[in-house]
């Protein structure tokens, strides 16, 4: 990998290094970038916080939703509340407390399950896999699967519609950075899997073009005796992720990419040391991500760039306006910087605009947009 050397234009009073050594106290940096955080960018320096609005009208605005208040414990994954969606991605939140009595198969794309709470057993075409909170479970398209919760399980279901999940290109840091592929666990043809291979009648519910069909078998279709190959259900926990870090430079969210699909990327924010260099920015920088909608699901910990956000909540920042940390979080980071973050969050950046699911307005924190207003 290589690129030609560029000589960006400089105008006025500037910091020569992005996200560090701002030219004066009370100066606020804003990044204007294209193609997420991968394309060309300009860094402007402002006298006022770029998110310091005093009023906001119209439908385009930062939004926050308490997914804890959505309907719980529905019987099937595709009956779960639709949170956000477009032609390439469907995001649902699902709570399951009882063993699934049918198998499910998604003919529309790969599924990613992020286990927000709970533990239990997953059975699928490839065998048996235990799960716990914090697990990502990748289920390839058209895989038969079901779960048996040991305790009530809440998960994000992120469908890569008409697409597949892959790993990001890790570039100059090499293929073993962030996590080694050897950390991915796959199901086993073990005693627990063999024990459920009965001759009882089972049904498989198949989703294709968002329409459900049901196929009945006089036996359990999860009857594999072995397999070999490179397509399978896979699991990794956020605790296995070793984030990229720099003590002198605040890395962009793209440095924390975990999985990529057609039209969107999943990033994982996990605990890490905070930048120690005196001149380095220590909170997410103000930025215009004008080509992507940004979604963050808050899983656990203290969310150091946000205020009044708790686990189980989700923020949605569509493209088209400046994003950035809350004023209180920004001020605290500048005056009393923490030495370590303890937050865990899942970010989804979508290239195409996301639409809200029908139940989302009822669980919106409508005061979220006002939380950036200067306190008087």
DSSP conformation letters of 37-96: TTS-EEEEEESS-TT--S---SS-S-EEEEGGGS----SSGGGSPEEEE-SSEEEEEEEE
Please state whether 16 falls in left (phi above 0), alpha (psi between -120 and 50) or beta.
alpha
What CA–CA distance (Å, rounded) separates 367 from 84? Answer: 20
28-64+243-372 with 71-238: one CATH topology?
yes
pLDDT tens profile 256-310: 999 999 999 999 999 999 888 888 888 888 888 788 999 999 999 987 667 788 9
Cα dihedral 28, 294, 112, 108 in deg (nearest 10): -160
Confidence check: pLDDT of 150 > 60: yes
What CA–CA distance (Å, rounded) separates 254 from 264? Answer: 11
Q: What is the largest CA-CA distance in the chain?
A: 76
- Topology annotation, domain 28-64+243-372: Jelly Rolls (2.60.120)
Q: What is the pLDDT of residue 23?
A: 85
User: What DSSP assignment string belongs to 240-268?
Assistant: G-B----SSS---GGGGEEEEETTEEEEE
Q: What is the pLDDT of residue 95?
A: 96
> Quick check: 333 and 278 in contact, CB under 8 A?
no
pLDDT tens profile 103-128: 999 999 999 999 999 999 999 999 99
Q: What is the pLDDT of residue 72?
A: 82
291 labeled binding residue: no
Q: Which residues contact 289 (CB under 8 A, 6 or more apart)?
A: 33, 36, 37, 317, 319, 323, 349
CATH of segment(s) 71-238? 2.60.120.10
Mean pLDDT of 30-54: 88
Catalytic residues: 250
68-72, 339-343, 347-351: which is most confident: 347-351
pLDDT tens profile 197-235: 999 999 999 999 999 999 999 999 999 999 999 999 999
**Domain residue limits, the chain:** 28-64+243-372, 71-238
326 labeled binding residue: no
277 labeled binding residue: no
């Amino acid at each position: 990998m290589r690129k030609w050397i560029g000589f960006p234009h400089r105008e006025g009073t500037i910091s020569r290094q992005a996200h560090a050594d701002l030219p004066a106290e009370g100066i606020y940096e804003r990044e204007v970038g294209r193609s997420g955080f991968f394309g060309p960018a300009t860094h402007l320096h402002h006298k006022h916080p770029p998110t310091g609005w005093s009023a906001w009208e119209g439908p385009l605005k930062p939004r926050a939703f308490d997914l804890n208040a959505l309907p719980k414990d529905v019987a099937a994954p595709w009956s779960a509340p639709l949170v956000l969606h477009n032609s390439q991605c469907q995001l649902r939140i699902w709570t399951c407390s009882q063993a699934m009595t049918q198998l499910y198969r998604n003919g529309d794309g790969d599924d990613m399950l992020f286990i927000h709470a709970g533990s239990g057993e997953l059975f699928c075409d490839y065998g048996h896999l235990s799960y716990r909170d914090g697990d990502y479970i990748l289920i390839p398209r058209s895989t038969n699967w079901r779960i048996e919760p040991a305790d009530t399980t809440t998960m994000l279901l992120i469908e890569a519609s008409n697409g597949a999940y892959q790993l990001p290109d890790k570039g100059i840091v090499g293929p073993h950075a962030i996590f080694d592929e050897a950390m991915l666990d796959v199901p086993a043809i073990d005693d627990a899997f063999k024990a459920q291979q009965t001759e009882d009648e089972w049904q498989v519910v198949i989703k294709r073009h968002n329409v459900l069909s049901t196929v009945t078998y006089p036996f359990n279709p999860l009857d594999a005796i072995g397999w070999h190959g490179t397509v399978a259900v896979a699991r990794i926990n956020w605790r296995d992720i070793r984030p990229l870090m720099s003590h002198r430079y605040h890395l962009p969210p793209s440095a924390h990419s975990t999985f990529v699909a057609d039209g969107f990327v999943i990033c994982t924010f996990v605990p890490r040391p905070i930048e120690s260099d005196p001149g380095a920015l220590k909170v997410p920088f103000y930025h215009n991500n004008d080509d992507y909608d940004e979604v963050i699901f808050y899983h656990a910990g203290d969310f150091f760039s946000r205020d009044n956000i708790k686990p189980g909540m989700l923020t949605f920042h569509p493209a088209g306006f400046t994003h950035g940390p809350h004023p209180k979080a920004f001020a605290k980071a500048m005056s009393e910087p923490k030495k370590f973050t303890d937050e865990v969050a899942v970010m989804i950046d979508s290239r195409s605009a996301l639409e809200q699911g029908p139940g989302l307005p009822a669980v919106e924190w409508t005061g979220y947009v006002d939380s950036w207003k200067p306190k008087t």
